Amino acid sequence: MAYEVTLITGDGTGPELAEAARKCVDATGVEINWDVQEAGVDVMERVGTPIPDSTIESVRRTKCALKAPITTPVGTGFRSINVYLRQELGLFACIRPCKWYPGVRSYFSELGVDIVIVRENTEDLYAGVEFEKGKPETAQLIEFINGLPSDRKIKTGAEETGVSIKPISVSGTERIVRCAFDYAQKNGRKKVTAVHKANIMKYSDGLYLATATEVAKDYPDIEFEERIVDNMCMQLVQKPELYDVIVLPNLYGDILSDLGAGIVGGLGVAPGANIGPEGAVFEATHGSAPKYKGQNKVNPTALILSGMLMLQHMGETDAAKRLEQAVADVIAEGKDVTYDLKPNRDDPTAVGTQEMADAICAKLKG
């Protein structure tokens, strides 16, 4: 049986990483027909959009995509393609394992950290309900809010104030928390921790916490606890070994997944999966690193492990295990790894992106 998968090559170092991940997935022996599609700044320069209709149509057809990193402009330019894909395709759950592999430099290596962060993808401040300073609609919104019978006022004027809305719903919270508990049950995990700021944001995060607490009652075999987000950050750098599956609203999930990646050695080893009822997109947590474009230098581990998550999602569990083990073996040996995985980053024996991928393929082929 051959699987149909969309391969989005991205921009910056994305095409190099896509090539590396593709050959490692192929080396498992799972037969995949790759539909190669583009997205990002390179294609925008040619066709006027960072994500052509053909790319979206491909993912809708295959219901599965492996996506290389794509640049997101800061403050200006086009909106995040990652966010767009998640919302357009209904990919409500972002699953980001934060697992330490022997050979990766980390201050926490002796703890054997193995945490999974489950992030809600479609609500919260990332929903994109924003109002720009100086716009008439922003003035109308501020006037409406300030006219309500409440002591909660926006005390600065529309000419200098931007506003973002933070929607949190019962249905959105229920499905992401159930996703976290279902993941825990399926993967032999023992505990789910819900993260929030309900002590301050009582009507959004408070709703999230109350809903999560109710959902937890349906999973008596899994321990449930809650943590305030700032305390959770401290807990993760003090005693990360105490945590298992962590479920969070969108913004906190984005931030803490990078913190989790830092604990286990950095974004270079941090994979991700975005899953919804109609499909899934698998991607590295890190960005496109355009300054390294074309240099065959960056670490391909995160996107290769994202391919491993894709194989798991397909039900190809044996192939997924073999791919993860091959990655772990190459990293542990420390020979055929990129510069960031060497004890000394200036080590002249560091290999390139494709050479590390080739070493992983060699392990798979035995």
Q: What would the two tokens of residue 289 be? A: 């690193």
Tokens of 6: 């969309």
Classify 334 as helix, strand or coil.
coil
Sign of CA dihedral 117, 123, 128, 134: negative
Distance CA 167, CA 186 (A): 30
Of all helices (H) and strands (E), which one includes residue 56? helix 53-62
Distance CA 43, CA 141 (A): 36
SS3 breakdown of the chain: % helix, strand, coil, rounded to 5?
45, 15, 35
Cα-flanking dihedrals φ and ψ of residue 346, to 5°? Answer: -95, 10
d(CA 10, CA 2): 24
| 198: Cβ contacts below 8 Å, ≥ 6 apart | 205, 206, 208, 209, 228
Catalytic residues: 126, 197, 230, 254
C-alpha Rg value of the chain to the nearest Å: 21
Pick from 224, 172, 220, 238: which is nearest to 195 by CA? Answer: 224
Between CA 337 and CA 269 the distance in angstroms is: 12
Q: Whose CA is closest to 103, among 337, 262, 358? A: 337
What six digits make up the tokens of 344? 């000394």
- Helix or strand or coil: residue 207? helix
